[in-house]
Amino acid sequence: MSLAPRFAPIVVAAILVSELTISVALGARPEPGRSDGGATAVAGGDATAGRDHGSPGGRRRLAPTGPGVPGGGPISDAQPSALVPTRIAPALPAPPPVTVPVLYYHKVSAIPSGFASWPPASRERFLAYDVLPSALAAQLDWLLANGYTTILPRDLADYWDHGVPLPAKPVIITFDDGFRNWTSAALPLLQSRHMVAEFYLTIDAIRARGITWPLVRELAAAGNGIGAHDDHHVQLVGVPGRADASEAHMRAEVTGVRDAIFSHVGILPDSLAYVGGGFDATLERVVQEAGYTTARTILRGITQTRARRYAMRVVRVGPRDDVADLMTGAMVPGLPTFTARMAGVPDHTRF
């Protein structure tokens, strides 16, 4: 067994490609989100157990490795994911709901020169799925200052299935789609703070040259999670006026992306993000049968439960949240909007 970092002080999944527009490269987009209700409980566990004193707030613990182990590191003997059974074994009593904010980003890009002269529609398209580097840096610093520790979705699954303790204030950072600025912009901000994130990759981003396999391997080598965001970036369920995908189509999408990542990166993704946020009971079952241990929606909320492991809630961070000046990247002191999002106050946009 190898000693692998499982908790780094803030999980951030970044998805970025400045030179690639979302509409051309990736297609479908999320439905409006909402906040989930229900009781909340701050995740417990010994916040100091297994702490790696070499990195602030960091944690290390033994993780399984070898063929067919989702998230278990490089795998040398390629196997199709359809042959890999799920690791879910909920033999333990159902744990109480836990407060684990899952931050939901896409790309990380600074405002380009000449932006002020762009047509309003073009400016809005650029900003729709963007977070400024200065904003992301300020948000990561806020998380550190307020005692949060980044974890990955597989750590939450280990808590549910095996009773592995969570840190006192866990947070998961995710990025959707696939952008070159995941490594050029997001990764340095994460590494300098000893944080990790889950990067949900669609293979359409590889096809569109939005990101490359070497860059994805670079993210994985830095300890981040590589999640799945379907083979093709097309919403499978819940598109008004269009029939839902067949079960066979669903299975091809969620296994195809898993096998491609396995083949090129050497790991089997253990978490999936639904394209456009669309999902139903059939798609949840297909995702579980494909070997994933969690899946993320775009429904708003900060409470996660084992019963909703394939419908994890998110915190959407908007492109203008706490940004005092888009051109300079100056931020509002104290980040009041981000503070509210982390407390469970949802946004009210379609993004």
Note whether residue 279 is domain-resident.
yes
The CATH number linked to 151 is 3.20.20.370
Number of domains in the chain: 1
Query: Are 230 and 250 within 8 A, CB to CB?
Result: no
Instruction: Tell me how far apart the terminal alpha carbons of the chain are, to the nearest angstrom.
Output: 41
Eight-state DSSP code of residue 343: T
Note whether residue 196 is domain-resident.
yes
Q: φ, ψ for residue 292 (rounded to 5)?
A: -75, 150
Structure token pair of residue 217: 């391997």
One pLDDT digit (tens) per residue for the chain, 351 residues: 443 444 444 434 443 333 334 433 444 433 333 333 333 333 433 333 333 323 443 443 333 333 334 444 444 344 454 444 455 555 678 899 999 999 999 999 999 999 999 999 999 999 999 999 999 999 999 999 999 999 999 999 999 999 999 999 999 999 999 999 999 999 999 999 999 999 999 999 999 999 999 999 999 999 999 999 999 999 999 999 999 999 999 999 999 999 999 999 999 999 999 999 999 999 999 999 999 999 999 999 999 999 999 999 999 999 999 999 999 999 999 999 999 999 999 887 543
Helices (H), the chain: 22-25, 120-128, 133-145, 153-162, 181, 187-191, 203-207, 213-221, 247-265, 281-289, 336-342
Query: Are 101 and 156 within 8 A, CB to CB?
Result: no
Distance, CA of 133 to CA of 332 (rounded, Å):
14
Q: Which residues contact 96 (CB under 8 A, 6 or more apart)?
A: 39, 41
Note whether residue 208 is domain-resident.
yes
Of 301, 343, 13, residue with least CA distance to 146: 343
Note whether residue 348 is domain-resident.
no
Distance, CA of 320 to CA of 351 (rounded, Å):
12
Note whether residue 351 is domain-resident.
no
Note whether residue 266 is domain-resident.
yes
In terms of residue numbers, what domain contains 71?
A: 2-29+42-342
Distance, CA of 81 to CA of 287 (rounded, Å):
11
Note whether residue 167 is domain-resident.
yes
Q: Whole-model pTM?
A: 0.78
Distance, CA of 172 to CA of 175 (rounded, Å):
10
Note whether residue 37 is domain-resident.
no
